[in-house]
Structure 1
């Protein structure tokens, strides 16, 4: 009973701290285009800087997961948030293209630490009975905080652009201090008889790799990859489309982001919590993938403002439902460490976001509707893989 109370307290602290974390990580997004323009950087920096950052997240996420499993979750969270904040302050002092690209990669490396660490920490302070529900609530908080952070960043954009990065860096450093002072260790590896293997030890051992990367895990990572290729392609094209085709002001994008965050909060605290409490099978995942595919098709099929925006809202809401479901699948088994599994999920997600952003950038040059078409294809592939995944699980658990 005492352990349960302690876990509940830790969970509440995690949720409060994560609000400020996800707010701050989105301050810079609305002002980045202005910053690049002021520095007279080439147009490709919009895509290449994002690719550098997400590539670093992809490469380092499994490592951060293993570090948290072996040396404690709190340390990885303190250091990753602190160093990310310092990196953003340096980013605000940048003057050249290579500075921008290098610091985006460094920021990605540290953001991988808190992206993996917070999810793994939520798993640490949960048990089988409430894990899916808490992940859904965590995803809801993340969704709405990121959206509001985007809006705050747009408002801060009225200041000199560099100040936004300085403010972001200081807030992230304050988050690091808050973690150090208020959060207890959610994972205590020193008290375990055996420590989880590091990612590189698993990869170089054929037997261990075969045991970890089962057909179900590989297909799951494939589903995650294509879901986020579709999402990243769609959301990046959507942002361009609002300005180029509909001539909306940047504040409209900020308000829209905040609105989608609120819908995501409602969806996660209603649909996902209900699923976590009442639906134990995996058919729901395939059903919501199908709804997401429908949304992607209707976005491509409609060019009028009202139906285009309405179906975009539907699509993004379906994605916010899928996201915690994917997270729950990733950490369903913690045999190899919650951090390790969170790292694999984050790596697959980041690779999808990187490919989706690049696809959207190049495809938009061919035609402003092409990225939406490619999003349909990616979601369709994810749906096929999801059905395959469900088939593999049949016989092992009820559906």
Structure 2
């Protein structure tokens, strides 16, 4: 198969499998707190389990990106789905806390293999003009699976508290089989061979992070981190925040999260490509960072349900634009380093998923408003960072143009 294909069939297959994988994650959300009570686990234990997933995802993401360049996207996607299937099954049969930690550690490795390889896959089958559309569709599939999952998980829990975990493992196994049998490889054998024969020795994860700092797209990776931090900060304590401060019911919270996530799905599936083509990635990134920061601040002022609904809708809408916009810029700047960049993208995203919820919980215990106040400051700092990077890039381009146009005798 050619690297660039006019057929959307591989993208559709990828979307279906991403949807199934995210459905599996969403299934367990409504039963997880009650499930943890069976083990007599505390809130801190739940936090450590979240961190365990993010930790292995962070450690293995750079390696996974390089492996996808050397051995192809398909084998990494299938391997990630296999580990995710095993992870969910272990969580379902667990009878001690240690098994839960093992499950989460394996799940993080699975995500590190799967997600950057899927992003690199989309880059392989799209050109620069349609890449935003491809990234948007993939993001929509992720969001839709996550939206539908909790409702289905709550229904399945009526048949037993562990049923959602077994179902999650089952649908992940189906995604694995579908990918193995149907999904074509996009990276040519020649490209894989060249990557394997490359004399550039793989650096450690920390060295790769240092290497990413020197890359021209480093600021974009920082923006990936801050976006993920802001999202995780918002979602981690949202239910607890509106419950304690505004006395919202579980049904109220479920409606807000579901409607907000559906808004993100619609934007990523139908609108994102038009926005990127009309306004460009830079303008959208700057505007969305500003609006997302304002949303966190506005959350502090009223508990009216419809007010919170509007703020939540806007927040999910702008963050659903931000991720594909940043990913599209990263992909365009990556050149032949799609696998490495996708791996580092996932690594910075993992850091946001580790630090965001942890810090939100700590700040929440200090003062109920602190998580959203600090989150807003991080997002505003990201806006200023993006603007400064843009000005610096324009200045370098101008200097380069002046040097090229300068007569030979000058200087």
* 2:377 alignment partner in structure 1: 377
| More off after superposition, 154-163 vs 49-58 | 154-163
| Alpha-carbon distance in structure 1 between the residues aligned to 2:75 and 2:90 | 23
What's the offset of the Cα at 1:74?
A: 0.7
What's the offset of the Cα at 1:68?
A: 0.9
Cα pair 1:151 1:257 within 8 Å, conserved: no
* 1:97-140 deviation line (CA, Å, top 9, x unaligned): 23222321221111221111211111111112211121122212
Cα pair 1:151 1:258 within 8 Å, conserved: no
* 1:295 alignment partner in structure 2: 295
What's the offset of the Cα at 1:336?
A: 4.2
| More off after superposition, 112-121 vs 16-25 | 16-25
**Scaled by the length of structure 2, what TM-score is found?**
0.88
* 1:217-246 deviation line (CA, Å, top 9, x unaligned): 222222221222121111111121243344
Count of matched residue pairs:
397
* 2:405 alignment partner in structure 1: none
* 1:254 alignment partner in structure 2: 254
* 1:102 alignment partner in structure 2: 102
What's the offset of the Cα at 1:362?
A: 1.3
What's the offset of the Cα at 1:307?
A: 1.9
Gap runs ≥5 in structure 1: none
Query: Alpha carbons of 1:198 and 1:65: their partners in 2 closer, same or farther (altered >3 Å)?
Result: farther
Matches within 5 A, 1:154-169: 154-169=154-169
* 1:201 alignment partner in structure 2: 202
DSSP-derived class of the 1:47 partner: helix
Matches within 5 A, 1:114-263: 114-191=114-191, 194-195=194-195, 201-202=202-203, 213-214=213-214, 216-263=216-263
Cα pair 2:3 2:188 within 8 Å, conserved: no
Cα pair 1:92 1:162 within 8 Å, conserved: yes
| Alpha-carbon distance in structure 1 between the residues aligned to 2:376 and 2:299 | 9
* 1:65 alignment partner in structure 2: 65
Cα pair 2:16 2:141 within 8 Å, conserved: no
DSSP-derived class of the 1:301 partner: coil
DSSP-derived class of the 1:184 partner: coil
Structure number with bigger Rg: 2
What's the offset of the Cα at 1:181?
A: 0.8
* 1:349 alignment partner in structure 2: 349
Query: Alpha carbons of 1:360 and 1:144: their partners in 2 closer, same or farther (altered >3 Å)?
Result: same
Cα pair 1:116 1:342 within 8 Å, conserved: yes
Cα pair 1:216 1:392 within 8 Å, conserved: no
* 2:56 alignment partner in structure 1: 56
**Could you say what the CA RMSD is over the residues aligned between the two structures, in angstroms?**
2.7
* 2:286 alignment partner in structure 1: 286
| Alpha-carbon distance in structure 1 between the residues aligned to 2:360 and 2:187 | 39
Query: Alpha carbons of 1:289 and 1:199: their partners in 2 closer, same or farther (altered >3 Å)?
Result: farther
* 2:44 alignment partner in structure 1: 44
